[in-house]
Structure 1
Amino acid sequence: MSSYQNLRNLSYVQELRPLHADCESCFGLCCVALPYAASSDFAKDKNAGVPCSNLQSDYRCQVHTELREIGYRGCTVFDCFGAGQQVSQVTYRGKDWKKFPETKAAMFSLFPIMWQLHELLWYLIQALHLPTAGTLQQELESAYETTRQMIDQPPDALLQADIGSHRANVNTCLTKVSEWARAEANKQFKHVKGRRTSFGRGADLIGAKLKGENLQGANLRGAYLIAADLRGADLSFADLIGADCRDTDIRGANLSESLFVTQFQLNAAKGDCHTQIPAYLNRPSHWIS
């Protein structure tokens, strides 16, 4: 039986649970392996492989409760899709890079790769649960199996893997799913007046005024929604894969059935208690109550 078929007895939320970050089980990899530059998201520069000055000896952040106030908003929106605990506890079997310094270089290089694979797994599980995925079931399951097998490889093999090619293949599959799902949505909503769906991949919607708009079934893949006003907008079955949602105002918006939404996107956006979100995601603590 395939690894995906083994998951079929689990609920959707249970399937996605291992892809939620568990910082308590990680060796602070995002705080060490990744670089960042001084900007509105980070107070200063940090090179890849250099521990953040706020990282404590137990791999916890000493300023976790004040990150936004002291200029580290980027940390509060980041989500590794569970790659941190996977590398720390599974790939390296609990051997941390401080006690086993010979693992440092490979572990830090592996983390961004695992992050990409876990993100792909997140999208594939969502796609497999869509009612419209039936005709693409075999292709989706094959992509899932390949991704799962790559994740389970030893460090040396995974570091040599062609992640770019695999991402491209999975993206082709997810694009088909999106087109199918949105086509079905368009049939359902075709009589709804005022719908806006023709934006196209990578659309520049920075600061766009879309308050209250009907965006059911819209293609917003890779769209730049930075500081866009989507208050009260309906994004049912809109494809948001890769959309940049930094400071996007989604107060009162409906994202409960949007395609390929991530925790990262919600964390980066501005929402409130009236924002409808998918059941498998968490309402960010900094949103307006």
Structure 2
Amino acid sequence: MSENREHAEPVPVEDRHALQADCANCFALCCVAPAFSASVDFAISKDAGQACPNLQPDFRCGVHTRLRPKGFRGCTVYDCFGAGQQVSQGTFGGQDWRRVPQAAKQMFTVFPVMRDLHELLWYLTEARSLCPTLPLREELTAQIEVTRNLTRSGPDELLELDVTAHRRNVNPLLLRTSERVRAGFLSEKKDHRGADLIGAKLKGRDLTGANLRGACLIGSDLRGADLAMADLTGADLRDADIRGAHLAESIFLIQSQVDAAKGDTSTMLPPSLARPGHWFTG
């Protein structure tokens, strides 16, 4: 493991900070732009572009401290990767969609495009921090610049952008990074890409370096499992029990995955991710 990471260089704090939600500089786009349906995650249904009834005039959530008890668990596991403030303050120059209603529809349509770009930036930044080889690191840096420049486009350009095509260009780099970092652990026994592991009994399992990209781990028992260097890109960890699990060196693990799981003080997390408050309040 140390051999693969000996050339690692720290990711600038500003890179990480720009990819974290700053709700104070956003016009509550995540409370308006997306649609959601009444379910275990949402107490009500809402159309895209319709403001959530809990949204206050100052763009704050009226039930923010009681989201889970009120039936809005989905809100607690949503992450815009900083796209909200970029659209609000960057793309639209601080225009308030309530005061400038003619910009509202375009702003709400641009938001998911920006979120996809910021999510890609997060993964690319994470990949570069692993820095397995100099040539690959240079490719990642170049792709970060390309993606960052796309986030600086105007509203019309963003709406015309083929994010899917851009993602196809980025994914091979992320896959190469993952394979390089996990080179010492690769084996058929640890290839669970896209696997159906709903409710799987994986307590105490050695999953170091495992490929869990896109795996469905809903409700799985991962207590005490070792997931060091495991690739968790897109893995569904909803209600997975990760108490005591070693995730501190897992790769491509994001905050919303952690928020969706069940952990405690013994769960080892990467320093870039926060321990969810609801782990201790239910």
How does the TM-score come out when normalised to structure 2? 0.93
Query: What is the CA-CA distance between 1:10 and the residue it aligns to?
Result: 7.3
CA contact (8 A) 1:127 1:133 kept: no
Q: Counterparts in 2 of 1:224-263, with a 5 A limit?
A: 224-263=216-255
Q: 2: CA distance between counterparts of 1:233 and 1:126? A: 22
User: Are 1:31 and 2:31 matched, yes or no?
Assistant: yes
Return closer, same or farther for 1:252/1:38 CA change in 2, 3 Å cut-off.
same
Aligned CA-pair RMSD: 1.8
Query: What is the CA-CA distance between 1:135 and the residue it aligns to?
Result: 3.6
Which residue in the other structure is 2:203 paired with?
211
Provide Cα deviations, 1:234-263, integer angstroms capped at 9, x if missing partner.
101100011111111111101111010111
| Structure 1 stretches of at least 4 aligned residues deviating more than 3 Å after TM superposition | 8-14
Letter in 1 for 2:27: F
Query: What is the CA-CA distance between 1:110 and the residue it aligns to?
Result: 0.5
Letter in 1 for 2:179: E
Q: Counterparts in 2 of 1:136-285, with a 5 A limit?
A: 136-184=136-184, 186=185, 197-199=190-192, 201-285=193-277
Letter in 2 for 1:270: K
Q: 1: CA distance between counterparts of 2:62 and 2:131? A: 44
Return closer, same or farther for 1:173/1:270 CA change in 2, 3 Å cut-off.
same
Q: 2: CA distance between counterparts of 1:223 and 1:134? A: 30
Q: How many corresponding residue pairs?
A: 274
Q: 2: CA distance between counterparts of 1:47 and 1:177? A: 39
Which residue in the other structure is 1:63 paired with?
63
Return closer, same or farther for 1:167/1:268 CA change in 2, 3 Å cut-off.
same
Q: 2: CA distance between counterparts of 1:69 and 1:118? A: 30
Q: 2: CA distance between counterparts of 1:17 and 1:94? A: 19
Query: What is the CA-CA distance between 1:198 and the residue it aligns to?
Result: 2.4
Q: 2: CA distance between counterparts of 1:14 and 1:31? A: 26
How does the TM-score come out when normalised to structure 1? 0.91
CA contact (8 A) 1:196 1:214 kept: no
Per the alignment, in what secondary structure is the counterpart of residue 149 of structure 1? helix
CA contact (8 A) 1:196 1:213 kept: no
Q: Taking every aligned residue pair, what percent have the same amino acid on both sides?
A: 55
Q: 1: CA distance between counterparts of 2:149 and 2:9? A: 20
Q: 1: CA distance between counterparts of 2:82 and 2:207? A: 30
Q: 2: CA distance between counterparts of 1:242 and 1:253? A: 18
Letter in 2 for 1:40: V
Q: 1: CA distance between counterparts of 2:247 and 2:267? A: 7
Query: What is the CA-CA distance between 1:82 and the residue it aligns to?
Result: 0.5
Per the alignment, in what secondary structure is the counterpart of residue 15 of structure 1? helix
Which residue in the other structure is 2:81 paired with?
81
Return closer, same or farther for 1:206/1:113 CA change in 2, 3 Å cut-off.
same
Q: 2: CA distance between counterparts of 1:10 and 1:259? A: 15
Query: What is the CA-CA distance between 1:15 and the residue it aligns to?
Result: 2.1
Which residue in the other structure is 1:98 paired with?
98
CA contact (8 A) 2:206 2:225 kept: yes
Provide Cα deviations, 1:99-152, integer angstroms capped at 9, x if missing partner.
111111110000001100000000001101114143412321221111011001
Provide Cα deviations, 1:247-289, integer angstroms capped at 9, x if missing partner.
1111110111101011111111111001111111111111138
Q: 1: CA distance between counterparts of 2:33 and 2:170? A: 25
Q: 2: CA distance between counterparts of 1:270 and 1:61? A: 24
Query: What is the CA-CA distance between 1:176 and the residue it aligns to?
Result: 1.0
Letter in 2 for 1:198: D
Letter in 2 for 1:88: S
Return closer, same or farther for 1:34/1:114 CA change in 2, 3 Å cut-off.
same
CA contact (8 A) 2:9 2:129 kept: no
Query: What is the CA-CA distance between 1:9 and the residue it aligns to?
Result: 9.6
Provide Cα deviations, 1:204-234, integer angstroms capped at 9, x if missing partner.
1111110010100000001101111101111
Provide Cα deviations, 1:23-53, integer angstroms capped at 9, x if missing partner.
1111010000000011110012111000001
Unaligned stretches of 5+ residues in structure 2: 1-7
